[in-house]
Structure 1
Amino acid sequence: MASDDQPVPVFPKPVTLRDVAAQAGVSVATASKALNDQGRMTAETRERIRETARNLGFRPNSLAQSLLRRRSFTVGLLTNDTYGRFSLPLMSGISDALVDAGVSVFLCNVEEDPRLGQLHVEAMLDKRVDGIIATGKRIDRHLPIDLANLRIPVIYAFTQPDPDAVAFVSDDAGGARLAVDHFCRLGRKRIAHVSGPASFAVVHERAQAYRAALIENGLPLIEPLLGAWSEAWGHEAVTILFDGGGEKPDAVFCGNDQIARGVIDALRERGLSVPGDVGVIGFDNWEIVAEATRPPLTSVDMNLTALGREAGLTLLSLVGGKPAAPGIRKLPCRLVVRQSCGRLPDG
């Protein structure tokens, strides 16, 4: 049990600009000018003051600097992606874009609660954030808050934007083409597509690109199967594909990595090898799923970190007074090739 007469910890007082000036033998005004790269003085004097500040451990008053420059050097990131599946890679890219400019990012989860979202926005405005980036768990739904007319820059990334806003999304159609074209190069002739719910815009965008790619390559069209974003649906879809009449697929392009994992498990239960009998490609490149699948899963990566970086750089430009044309920018996906789709004919 703790004693009542234990010593109270004493923390040293922060070093002030006045301390730096006294130690360097200059006025407070001269010390301030030297540390802010202003005023006229010899290079030796400026460096001596800076060296003194470093040795004393002096840290400038960020609040005072913010008031002086009319910037807080902070950016708010709003999301309803509770699990962080999409928002965390985006935040990584955003932070990478902003760190060299001395800007920090803080994340707020608004869930699906308009009241909570409004509280977070008001808190951000009270803290004088330089701008806000809004992101979510799907690109065809708006966050449950109104971000129009905030008088600070707002960027949308991987969520439905307001009209006349700047937004960044992944090119889902392009990602689907990457998968189908890769199967074609591998010599696959009957490519099926198993995807998520029809209520998602990306499902239709990918399905349309899948159909177009099959037609362009002269391959038979197998109507896409739509269901849930789950392993269970992938398992069920294999039953539909392989227990019906007609030729069986030799490749399956899946709408996400969970579906692909269910497809692979169901194929294995039927005694079919992956990729020997059937190649499988997923979507999202969720590494914790893709790399743990057996065999490891080839998957379309939406490049969310790069997308976040572009959103961060664009916000910096807006904060700096440079205009950006409104509209949605689609960034290309990339195919991460692992063992589940097979090798090219030449090995």
Structure 2
Amino acid sequence: MQEADPPPPEDRVPSLAFGGAPTIRDVARIADVSIGTASKALNAGGRLSQETRDKVLRVAREIGYRPNDLAQSLHRAKSRTIGIISNDSFGRFTFPIVEALEERLAEEGMAVFMCNATDDPARERQHLDQLLGKRIDALVVTARRADKRPPIGPRAHGLPVIYVFSRADDPEALSLLPDDEGGAMLAVAHLASLGRKCIAHVTGPEHFEAVRLRRKGYRSALAEAGLPEIEGFYLSGVWSEAWGREAAARLFSRSQTPDAIFCGNDQIARGASDTLREIGLAVPADVAIVGFDNWDVMVLAARPQLTSIDMNLKALGREAGDSVLEMIAGRKLSGVRRRPCSLVVRASSKP
């Protein structure tokens, strides 16, 4: 007589075929508990024995049950999702911020939806409506520049909103920004500490707030070091290597030339370095150079590699995550917070 197959072990859920995705009813039936008990176990709520909770979670895992996030969000009045609206289509500044923000929120079991508005107000409104339709718990607004912008609008009334690397023209809003002025002071103080006496500043368009703040830091650091601000040593143009090359050529066509250049971004710094090499000057022996942004693509590919100011965008993104969680919990946060930059020294300004 053929022996019967042994019964499945108690810790093993029988293989089942479902006509659709497994439901909480399937979990409850297989675990031999009520739907209410299954719900409490799956949502880490209620008063249950650890044995019952573990059993329900094991059954859910083995049959491939996934909770209905939308239904849970309606039940909790929270979706555990955050919306992000950006106009930084290139992603140079947004990506490090979003990466750190997402990592911080993931620690709390939260996810993000990101939309790109590309400086189009109509598209921004459309994205906002879509995000609100997903019942997001908070909104983060970021950009490719930190200039002031209109507030996100009345449709987000009551929703926590944080501006990161973007500044709302609203005293009640919370804006997290890098300290451009302080970063410039770090750069110029570093050059002065190397014994450089004639420090030029080549930067981008003056209608950017960051440009104005970095020039202010440049002037303050010169004054603190007891160095003169030499006429003609400040040049404002565009954010490009071509402008860096042109500006350096202008500076070295003068009778008085600089022994150091603080550049408003790394592209300008790399262009300036190219011109110095072409006219036979050595970096840093003849002229030291410091850039701004610490963009790997630029600073590491330059010859020599560029010293630069790092805006610590990942730290800014992580702080945004902390602030989002605080605001969701009910704390009111507002004002402009500027976070310190740091100096990364490389060959272009080594002693």
Aligned partner of 1:297 among 282, 303, 306: 306
In the alignment, does 2:344 pair up with 1:336?
yes
SS at match of 1:101: coil
* Equivalent position of 1:176 in the other structure: 184
How many angstroms apart in 1 are the aligned matches of 2:72 and 2:308?
Answer: 46
1:152-181 C-alpha deviation (Å, 9 max, x unpaired): 111111112131101100000110011111
SS in structure 2 at match of 1:311: helix
2:150, 2:169 within 8 Å by CA — same for their partners in 1? Answer: no
| Letter aligned with residue 299 of structure 1 | S
- If the length of structure 1 is used for normalisation, what is the TM-score? 0.91
Determine the C-alpha separation between the residues in 2 that align with 1:225 and 1:98: 42
**How does 1:231-242 map onto structure 2 within 5 Å?**
231-242=241-252
How far, CA to CA, are the matches of 1:121 and 1:65 in structure 2?
A: 22
How large is the RMSD of aligned CA atoms in angstroms?
A: 1.8
Amino acid at match of 1:238: A
Counterpart of 2:277 in structure 1 is: 268
Answer yes or no: is 1:217 the counterpart of 2:210: no
State the secondary structure of the residue aligned to 1:188: coil
Structure 1 distance, partners of 2:47, 2:321, is 36
2:72 maps to amino acid: Q
* TM-score, scaled to structure 2: 0.90
Report the CA distance shift for 1:18/1:276 in structure 2 as closer, same or farther (over 3 A): same
Distance 1:311 1:42, change over 3 A: closer
Distance 2:154 2:260 in 1: 44
Query: Within 2, Cα distance between the matches of 1:327 and 1:144?
Result: 13
CA contact (8 A) 1:91 1:308 kept: yes
Shift of 1:143: 6.0
Question: Counterpart in 1 of 2:122?
Answer: 115
In structure 2, the residue matched to 1:22 is 29
- AA aligned to 2:332 is P
1:315 aligns with 2:338: no
In 1, the alpha carbon distance for the partners of 2:187 and 2:251 equals 19
State the shift of 1:37 in Å: 3.0
Q: Aligned equivalents of 1:29 and 1:290: distance in 2?
A: 58
2:97 aligned partner: 90
Equivalent runs, 1:1-150 vs 2, <5 Å: 13-142=20-149, 146=153, 150=157
Distance in 2 (CA, whole Å) between partners of 1:12 and 1:184 is 73
Aligned length: 332
Choose which of 242, 248, 252 in structure 1 pairs with 2:261. 252
**Other structure's SS at 1:14 match:** coil
1:41/1:219 CA distance change after superposition, 3 Å: closer
Contact 1:253 1:282 (C-alpha < 8 Å) held by counterparts: yes
Q: Match of 2:209?
A: 201
Q: Percent identity?
A: 50
The CA distance in 2 between the partners of 1:195 and 1:328, in whole Å, is: 24
Q: Which amino acid aligns with 2:78?
A: R
Contact 1:97 1:309 in 2 (8 A): yes
1:186 aligns with 2:194: yes
CA distance in 2, matches of 1:242, 1:35: 70
**Alignment CA distance shift 1:40-1:282 (3 Å):** closer
- Per the TM alignment, residue 116 of structure 1 is displaced from its structure 2 partner at its CA by 0.9
Aligned partner of residue 275 in structure 2, secondary structure: helix
Contact 1:79 1:143 (C-alpha < 8 Å) held by counterparts: no
Distance 1:72 1:38, change over 3 A: closer
Deviates more, 1:163-172 or 1:58-67: 58-67
Q: Is the 8 A contact 2:86 2:94 kept in 1?
A: yes
Pick closer, same or farther for the CA change 1:277–1:11 going to 2, 3 Å: farther
Residues 148 and 169 in structure 2, CA contact (< 8 A), matched pair in contact too: no
**1:71 Cα deviation (Å)?**
0.9
1:340 is paired with a residue whose SS is: helix
Deviates more, 1:26-35 or 1:168-177: 26-35
- The runs of 5 or more residues in structure 1 that have no matched partner are 1-9
